[in-house]
Amino acid sequence: MEPVPKSKMSRFLFFIAGILLCSLIAAGPAPTFAQDPAAVRGFVRSADGGQSLQGANVILRDTTGNVQSAVATNADGLYQISEIPPGRYRLSISFVGYTPHRDTLQLAPGEQRTVSISLSASAQQLDDVTIEGRRPVKESEAGLRQIRSADIESIPSAGPGSDLSTYLRGLPGVTTTGDRGGRLYVRGGTPSQNKVLVEGMPLHKPFHIIGLYSAFPGDLVSTADFYGGGFGAEYMGRLSSVLDVQLRPGNVNEFKGSVGAGPFLALARFEGPISRGGSSFLVNVRHSLIEHSGPTLLNQQTPYKFYDLTAKYHSQGESSQCSLVGMRTYDRGRLDPNRTASFRWNNTAFGGECLLFGDTSAQVLDASFGTSHFGNAVRSVDGTTRDASAWRFYTNLDLTQPLPNGNSLQWGFHLRADQYRLSLDEPFLGITSEDYFRITTSPYIEASLTWNDRVTLTPSLGTQFQFSRGLPMLEPRLRLSYRPRGSERMKLTAAGGLYRQLVTGVSDERDAGSTFQALLPSPFTDHPPQAAHALLGWNQQIQSSLRVSVEGWYKKLWDLAVPRWTPIVRFNTTLSRADGQAFGADLSIQYEPDPLRLDLTYGYGQTTYQASEDDLGGWTGDPLIEYSPPYDLRHKIGVSASLDLSWVTASARWQYNSGLPFTQVYGYDSMLEVRGLREHPFGSVGTPRALFDRPYQARLPAYHRLDASLKRTFTLSPLLGMTVEMGAINAYDRRNVFYVDIFTQDRVDQLPVIPYLSLQINFE
């Protein structure tokens, strides 16, 4: 272990001490004075099932009707109004489609009033509801796509039900190398640079082997915050993106369930109250059927098996909301149906999260803990196996302190222990095994400051300290939004900061068909991989039904651990250092004249890596090699439309991706090791080599595909409903290449046209 420089250690200790001091000062009850401001906070939920209502308007008026304060609830349905002068107020809480709640409050000096309410659904549209509370600042932040269940439902997907994965894959800036394998590349980053959280639990690879599915069925997702970059210090440890998923709780009032099946999968879900109005459970399980239905439907082998199991316990009270979540995903299959090399991976995670506040303190505490395990393996044609796993235990404490004028201060302390294991068995080359254990802390502090209801500044600062590494480094970040007219109709957003990652994912980038990935601590102890992000966006509500947003992004990447090149046909864990840069722009136009919903997106991106020829082990003849990695997607166009008529919902999506880069070969040979006279022409096979041309100079053919579906729901009885969905994936049967094995020249295409009919029965 390297000695920790004293100055760096001192800085780290000061930082920790500062955060602890903040906690001590702010956590204790303060003495009350006559003019001490009061505060009101609470949860806003649906009376139907107890679900949190995000974006509900909470308005506090004085007795003359003037607005004292207006806020909106966050993803947990939590609102908080602070710094209220003591006195009498009228509180109104409203949410579109629900009957508003109105109340009169008499607030005493220093009082911390809790008002948690459940809104009842209203049959009529509430035209008189004025949206005064600004939507949560996160709503249209730089780099952020806040995904709701309805967004996911609008995309055609081979049911039953929808899936978050289908939605994500259509976003500009998100690249996939194929519709199998479960890997997402976001704005120049690699899959191992993405952070995926489910209620605070990390999941390493929650995307299924068939890319249409993930561990997140659409109607289980309450919200999903997807950051393509520029995220704050609350999220530490990854360079590229963050997907923070909140699952909806089970119904706290009545028992419900559904079962369904389609050619790809079958599902069953059951939920209901444990203590009516107070706690609930939800269990959802999906299992693939495509392995059995595929040969009949497609007249070809479809050796893919996957399942996911999600269970959630949820309890809610006036001043607290807690959940326990367990998840298990499993995938197994052969990416090339004609070869016997098979992949499998699984995620197992269990964790709890509690959001609570007390009567004497203004702070809101978010505490979470749990464990998460990821394992993946590939069995090659020759019977050898590569195996890698990562196991994490974590605990997080996050505190939010309201400040005057609607501002807030948030800080937290995250602690995790990781174990990484790797075992590579290569034909002729033997077994390589590695085992690492790391403990990491990542404290952070973040402020949200608003001026004149027009400018919101969110500076944050965090650090990651790994005990075996001894390199505490500060990561400053800043997020900014500017509303020139004080409303959400026009908004300019910006974000930037420094990002570091202490773990690296090793995958065989020469082979796009490989989905195996080994997670290892970054080998560069002096300088771990890091990135600087800069984002600038513009959002404009042109008409009530037309919204346009444009965002430019730039990422500078340093000290990336990339596989050292070798012409030898083997998985290579020797890493070399590379720098890179990625930039691009995303355009999104949403046109939603009821009942039509039309989305047009275009994304441009360019990613390049640079490394010295010696470091990379290249043979181009140039001292500095600049190349585009295999996920350097330049152009991506997406058009999706959804028409919701009273009797049927029709939706379609067309996607176009320009071709991804790949490395051509100019030949193959079997190298005899003349060195040491180890191999002789008579009797030796040699080591197979692929003789690569200049790296990633060629491009695969462009990808395009049309998916379409029709969905109709039938009410069979007051307690029984049925949803029928029919459609087609790849409707015009485009021959999109998935990958070509450069060693065998076998070509594997992505999914052909797949018609489907799915049925789902819902009961109460």
| Minimum separation from the CB atom of position 7 to other proteins (A) | 38
Q: Which residue number, 438 or 564, has a Cβ lying nearer to other proteins?
A: 564
Q: How far apart are CA 59 and CA 39, in angstroms?
A: 13
Cα–Cα dist 324/314, whole Å: 7
Amino acid at 598: L
Per DSSP (E only), the strands in 218-319 are 221-227, 241-247, 256-261, 265-275, 279-288, 304-316
Distance in Å, CB of 176 to other proteins, minimum: 17
Report in angstroms how near the CB of residue 629 gets to other proteins at its nearest. 18
Instruction: Give the integer Cα–Cα distance in Å for 384 and 596.
Output: 53
Q: Other C-beta atoms within 10 Å of 209: how many?
A: 25
Q: Which is nearer to other proteins, 656 or 763 (CB)?
A: 656
Amino acid letter, 668: Y
Minimum Å gap between C-beta 550 and other proteins is 20
* Measured CA distances, 511 to 303, 561, 626, 738 (Å): 20, 17, 19, 11
φ/ψ of 247, rounded to 5, equals -90, 150
Q: How far is the CB of 702 from other proteins (least distance, A)?
A: 4
Q: Which is nearer to other proteins, 20 or 674 (CB)?
A: 674
Q: Are 591 and 536 in contact (CB under 8 A)?
A: no
Nearest to 257 by CA among 267, 266, 270, 247: 270
Residue 198 or 751: the one with the smaller Cβ distance to other proteins is: 751
Burial 276-315 (b: 16+ CB within 10 A, else e): eeebbbbbbebebbbeebbeebbeeebbbbbbbbbbbbbb
In the numeric block, which tokens belong to residue 758?
């799915």
DSSP line for 680-712: -TTT---EEEEEE-STT-EEPPPEEEEEEEEEE
By C-beta, is 524 or 619 nearer to other proteins? Answer: 619
Burial (Cβ within 10 Å: 0-12, 13-18, ≥19) of residue 441: middle
- In DSSP terms, 370 is beta-bridged to 351, 394
User: Considering beta carbons, is residue 338 or 664 the nearer one to other proteins?
Assistant: 664
β-bridge partners, 447: 409
Which is nearest to 447 in space by CA: 461, 430, 434?
Answer: 461
State the minimum distance, in angstroms, from the CB of residue 749 to other proteins. 8
Query: Shortest approach of other proteins to residue 380 CB, angstroms?
Result: 16
Q: Which of 252, 233, 230, 256 is nearest to 241 (CA)?
A: 230
Nearest to other proteins of 610, 697 (CB atom): 697
Tokens at 529, concatenated: 């991989």
Number of helices (H), then strands (E), belonging to the chain: the values are 5, 46
Closest distance to other proteins from the beta carbon of 692 (Å)? 8
In eight-state DSSP terms, residue 172 is T
Shortest separation between residue 757's beta carbon and other proteins, angstroms: 28
| CA atoms within 13 Å, Cβ hemisphere of 699 | 12
Return the bridge partners of 757, or none: 726
CB of 593 to other proteins, least distance (A): 18
- Closer by beta carbon to other proteins, 453 or else 693: 693
CB of 659 to other proteins, least distance (A): 9
Minimum distance from CB of 705 to other proteins (Å)? 11
Question: Distances from the Cα of 252 to the Cαs of 52, 277, 280, 356, 517, in angstroms?
Answer: 12, 5, 5, 19, 40
Q: Which is nearer to other proteins, 621 or 623 (CB)?
A: 621
Nearer to other proteins, 448 or 658 (CB): 658
Query: Looking at beta carbons only, is 348 or 566 nearer to other proteins?
Result: 566
CB of 748 to other proteins, least distance (A): 11
What is the spatial distance between Cα 251 and Cα 763, in angstroms, rounded to a whole number?
Answer: 13
Dihedrals φ, ψ of 720, to 5°?
-140, 130
Pick the closer one to other proteins by CB: 475 or 632: 632
Taking the complex as a whole, how short is the minimal distance between the CB of residue 696 and other proteins, in angstroms? 13
Burial of 88 (0-12, 13-18, 19+ CB in 10 A): exposed
Q: Nearest distance from residue 661's CB to other proteins, in Å?
A: 12
CB nearer other proteins, residue 668 or residue 763: 668
Which one, 99 or 687, has the nearer CB to other proteins?
A: 687
Q: Which is nearer to other proteins, 268 or 568 (CB)?
A: 568
Query: To the nearest whole angstrom, how small is the minimum distance from the Cβ of residue 254 to other proteins?
Result: 49
Nearest to 305 by CA among 324, 317, 288: 288
CA proximity to 466, closest of 399, 526, 532: 526
CA–CA separation, 737 and 212 (whole Å): 17
- Binding interface with other proteins (CB under 8 A): 564, 566-568, 572, 574, 617, 619, 621, 656, 658, 662, 664-683, 685-687, 689, 691, 693, 698, 700-702, 704, 734-737, 740, 742, 744-745, 747
- The least distance separating other proteins from the CB of residue 583, rounded to whole angstroms, comes to 23
Q: 429 or 449: whose CB is closer to other proteins?
A: 429
CB nearer to other proteins: give 428 or 538.
428
646 — alpha (psi -120 to 50), left (phi > 0) or beta?
A: alpha
Question: How many whole angstroms separate alpha carbon 750 and alpha carbon 158?
Answer: 15
